[in-house]
């Protein structure tokens, strides 16, 4: 913006400074200045401040643009002029004897009055309600554009844009981190004291972090209702410990504070801590949380050898149960029967039992009903279970329990009494199923008769595998496995390695910047960019070589695209197997196939082998690092025509890494194969072969020109052509 000469400016409409005077508070003074400035066509911002002494307020067009990018003399310049004009306007408020006095230091401006308030950042601030909406939609995984659309539906006059949403999201994220650090600091800040034996002991000093949601005060946290609930949790911990549900400091109990004067969704939550002896729990050893998960009160402290209190890692899961199921209490049990019942069938996603008396103790069930409990897979950290637990609750709205494989069970009810009763019934039923299984009886059938096929159903033995034969089979020695389906990789099995390394990768590398520029505003590319931002941020935190920061959108898409391209090119050069890269590569390759710049290259034996298997009724699936869309494009546009008619499905890294056994379990579940040995996996990779064998699959390694070497005595059968199967 052009800066006007002062004399020229005086000829135009003069913007007046606010009237001077005294004010009872700093906030009152600032409101007076801001409200008056808006009537004159300018806005102000705080330039300098000492909260209890003075505040300097200047025109928000004061100052000059500072170049932040240091790329030498040929650095890129701003395309748009800066809105800053080095305006000299300035007023000062000073505190004297508890009264704030406003004086005008310079009442002149060197720019025209604003015609549009959206020119001013201060007018693009969100209300507290809008900030809460941004927080909730961000937690739900919504992108800034989606959030902005929702906000504008509520307020058509909103002048904020997506960059303002980005800024609020960043502040919320920093706020969450800072709260986490405060909580961590409250548990780690300590002082040395002397115990009765004169030995130094560590006492942790904590400051409860009080949250003001629903006008909750510290006085209420110390009320009779909260105190009684804390005592009840301690009593239940002592009761469940001898049952083995809370042994080894594991497990947890949490109960809502029942208070008829407070809506259920706003009631406080009492939660037992982590890492403490549950049989020795007392009332003042509990955490108290607000309804939205903020810690309002921490446990009292104890001298050495007791550890500092820690809020359980299950807290996010408990809060999800309260939110989705409107529960009154939740128990997380590490009972052995809950762990073992998930191991009877390591591939099942459900536990089912019927015609057992104790089913009547489960909410909404009777004796003749079939009780179904979903099973989710365990993770290294309990907080990582939140997403799968949420999906299970939504998929099984009738359930009041979720099993975690090789771990335990989460059980809830509408009150602590209902939760306790159901927990006892669930554990009885889990134990009954285990004992019936040991007797060879079917707990899931009404008459509990003999299991029809223990081997077939549970994979206890299965047909024995033939001994490994190392080396390449000749065509006169045909492998005839008993598998019902095949799972093939692409690189080094179906296509030459050179097709991927010499054609596909270079094409993506050379076209990434062009692709992003041409499709930048599309929803698909924006989703790709969001995934890349997340991956790159993780790479930066872990110090991954080649990772460079991505600037926010408002600096201009050219800079964003250049930074993204630099990261993607670095990922391609190191052959990263991450979903964000593979998804973007897939979209670039799709454009190449559609424009006939790319043609899929497969080995000459592939079409004949696929046709032979198809004719025999053998189902064939593909598992590759590239996205499913790219896999289909490759087979649809191969040098032998469209081969998709011979294939039954495609899997990519969204089911998991190819070198991890769990990925193959997921594929077995999706395909509907009960016995892993009924699937034959063909790959060029030794690591993938090991992972698939660990999952129980039959495995053959493909030996093709250009494939990498195999370890000596690797123990796998090998082939040089798919026609050998």
Q: Are strands 485-488 and 269-271 parallel, antiparallel or unpaired?
A: unpaired
Q: How far apart are CA 432 and CA 453, in angstroms?
A: 19
658 annotated binding-site participant? yes
CATH of 21-63+84-119, one of 2.40.10, 1.10.10, 2.20.25, 2.60.120: 2.20.25
Q: Is 314 annotated as a binding residue?
A: yes
Instruction: Look at residues 444, 273, 253 and name the one whose alpha carbon lies nearest to residue 332.
Output: 253
pLDDT of residue 249: 80
**Per-residue pLDDT at 208:** 33
What is the 3-class SS of 542-565, one letter each residue? HCCCCCCCCCCHHHCHHHHHHHHH
**In the chain, domain spans:** 21-63+84-119, 128-173, 224-439, 486-490+601-724, 498-595
Nearest Cα to Cα of residue 526 among 589, 583, 591, 592: 583
- How far apart, in whole angstroms, are the C-alpha atoms of residue 187 and residue 205? 7
What CATH class is the domain 486-490+601-724?
A: alpha beta
**Model pLDDT for residues 665-708, shown as the tens digit of each residue:** 989 888 878 888 889 999 999 999 999 999 999 999 999 998 98
Query: Quick one: pLDDT at residue 191?
Result: 30
Angle at 427 between CA 421 and CA 431, to 5 degrees: 145
Positions of the chain with pLDDT lower than 50, given as ranges = 1-12, 70, 73, 177-216, 453-483
Residue 128, C-beta contacts closer than 8 angstroms, at least 6 positions apart = none
Beta-sheet pairing, 295-297 with 649-651: unpaired
List Cα–Cα distances, 51 to 54, 55, 102, 603, in angstroms: 7, 7, 15, 74
Q: Residue 20 in 3-state DSSP?
A: coil
For residue 407, say whether it is annotated as part of any ligand binding site.
yes
Tokens of 578: 């991450």
User: What separation, in Å, do the N-terminal and C-terminal C-alpha atoms of the chain show?
Assistant: 74
Residue 15 class from Cβ within 10 Å (0-12 exposed, 13-18 middle, 19+ buried)?
A: buried
pLDDT number for residue 277: 82
Structure tokens at 565: 């391209």
Q: What residues have CB less than 8 Å from 300, skipping those under 6 apart?
A: 284, 285
The CATH class of 498-595 is: mainly alpha
Name the one residue in this structure whose structure tokens are 């024995």: 464
Helix axes 557-573, 523-542, angle to 10 degrees: 60
Convert 139-162 to b/e letters by CB count within 10 Å (16 or more is b): eeebbbbbbbeebeeeeeebebeb
Taking the C-alpha atoms of residue 62 and residue 45, their distance in angstroms, rounded to an integer, is 9
Q: What is the pLDDT of residue 188?
A: 39
Q: Which two tokens stand for residue 117?
A: 């308030």
Q: What is the predicted pLDDT for the residue at 140?
A: 61
pLDDT at 139: 67
SS3 letters across 631-682: HHHHHHCECCECCHHHCCEEECHHHCCCCCHHHHHHHHHHHCCCCHHHEEEE
Element (H, E) at 5: none
CATH topology of domain 224-439: L-fuculose-1-phosphate Aldolase (3.40.225)
Query: Which residues are identified as catalytic?
Result: 357
The strand pair at 408-413 and 329-333 is best described as antiparallel
Q: What is the rounded distance in angstroms from the CA atom of residue 505 to the CA atom of residue 412? A: 50
Q: Which two tokens stand for residue 660?
A: 């991890």
Query: What pLDDT score was predicted for residue 250?
Result: 83
- Do 224-439 and 486-490+601-724 fold alike per CATH? no
For residues 83 and 1, is the Cβ–Cβ distance under 8 A? yes
Partners of residue 56 on adjacent β-strands:
48, 92
Q: Are 495 and 603 in contact (CB under 8 A)?
A: yes
pTM, whole model, 2 decimals?
Answer: 0.40
| Residue 461: predicted pLDDT | 30
Answer for the pair 487, 680: CB distance below 8 angstroms, yes or no. yes
């Amino acid at each position: 913006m052009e800066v006007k000469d002062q004399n020229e400016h005086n000829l135009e409409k003069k913007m007046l400074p606010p009237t001077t005077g005294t004010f009872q508070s700093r906030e009152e003074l600032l409101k007076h200045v801001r409200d008056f400035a808006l009537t004159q066509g300018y806005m102000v911002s705080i330039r300098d401040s000492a909260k209890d002494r003075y505040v300097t307020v200047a025109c928000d067009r004061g100052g000059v643009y500072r170049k932040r990018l240091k790329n030498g003399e040929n650095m890129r310049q701003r395309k748009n002029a800066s809105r800053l004009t080095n305006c000299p306007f300035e007023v000062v408020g000073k505190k004297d004897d508890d009264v704030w006095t406003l004086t005008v230091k310079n009442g002149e401006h060197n720019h025209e009055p604003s015609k549009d308030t959206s020119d001013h950042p201060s007018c693009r601030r969100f209300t507290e309600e809008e900030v809460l909406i941004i927080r909730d939609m961000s937690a739900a995984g919504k992108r800034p554009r989606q959030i902005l659309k929702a906000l504008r539906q509520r307020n058509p006059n909103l002048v904020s844009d997506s960059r303002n949403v980005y800024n609020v999201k960043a502040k919320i994220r920093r706020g969450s981190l800072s709260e986490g650090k405060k909580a961590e600091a409250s548990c780690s800040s300590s002082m040395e004291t002397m115990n009765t034996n004169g030995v130094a002991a560590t006492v942790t000093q904590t400051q409860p972090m009080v949250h003001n949601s629903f006008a909750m005060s510290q006085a209420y946290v110390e009320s009779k209702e909260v105190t009684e609930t804390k005592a009840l949790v301690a009593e239940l911990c002592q009761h469940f410990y001898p049952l083995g549900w809370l042994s080894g400091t594991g497990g947890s109990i949490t109960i809502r504070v029942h208070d008829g004067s407070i809506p259920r969704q706003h009631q406080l939550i009492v939660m037992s801590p982590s890492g403490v002896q549950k049989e020795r729990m007392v009332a003042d050893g509990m955490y108290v949380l607000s309804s939205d998960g903020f810690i309002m009160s921490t446990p009292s402290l104890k001298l050495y050898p007791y550890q500092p209190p820690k809020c359980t890692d299950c807290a996010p899961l408990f809060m999800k149960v309260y939110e989705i199921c409107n529960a009154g209490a939740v128990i997380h049990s590490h009972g052995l029967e809950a762990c073992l019942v998930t191991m009877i069938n390591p591939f099942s996603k459900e536990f089912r039992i019927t015609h057992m008396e104790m089913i009547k103790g489960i909410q909404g069930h009777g004796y003749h009903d079939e009780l179904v409990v979903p099973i989710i897979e365990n993770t290294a950290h309990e907080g990582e279970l939140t997403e799968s637990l949420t999906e299970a609750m939504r998929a099984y709205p009738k359930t009041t329990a979720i099993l975690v494989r090789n771990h335990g069970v989460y059980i809830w009810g509408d009150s602590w009494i209902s939760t306790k009763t159901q927990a006892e019934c669930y554990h009885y039923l889990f134990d009954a199923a285990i004992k019936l299984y040991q007797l060879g009886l079917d707990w899931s059938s009404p008459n509990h008769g003999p299991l029809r096929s223990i081997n077939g159903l549970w994979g206890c033995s299965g047909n024995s595998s033939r001994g490994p034969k190392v080396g390449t089979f000749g065509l006169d020695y045909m492998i005839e496995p008993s598998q019902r389906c095949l799972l093939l990789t692409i690189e080094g099995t179906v296509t030459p390695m050179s097709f991927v390394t010499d054609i596909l990768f270079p094409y993506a590398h050379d076209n990434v910047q062009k692709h992003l520029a041409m499709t930048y505003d599309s929803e698909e590319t924006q989703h790709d960019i969001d995934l890349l931002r997340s991956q790159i941020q993780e790479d930066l935190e872990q110090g991954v070589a080649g990772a460079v920061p991505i600037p926010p959108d408002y600096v201009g898409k050219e800079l964003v695209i250049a930074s993204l391209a630099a990261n993607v090119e670095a990922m391609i050069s190191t052959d990263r197997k991450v979903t964000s890269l593979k998804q973007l590569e897939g979209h670039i390759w799709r454009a190449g196939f559609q424009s006939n710049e790319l043609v899929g290259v497969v080995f000459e034996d592939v079409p004949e082998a696929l046709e032979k298997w198809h004719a025999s009724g053998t189902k064939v699936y593909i598992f590759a690092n590239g996205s499913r869309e790219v896999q289909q494009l490759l087979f649809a546009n191969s040098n032998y025509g469209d081969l998709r008619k011979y294939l039954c499905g495609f899997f990519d890294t969204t089911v998991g890494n190819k070198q991890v056994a769990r990925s193959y379990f997921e594929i077995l579940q999706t395909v509907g194969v009960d016995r892993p040995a009924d699937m034959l996996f063909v790959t060029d990779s030794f690591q993938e072969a090991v992972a698939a064998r660990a999952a129980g699959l039959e495995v053959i390694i493909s030996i093709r020109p250009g494939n990498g070497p195999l370890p000596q005595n690797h123990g796998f059968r090998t082939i040089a052509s798919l026609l050998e199967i």
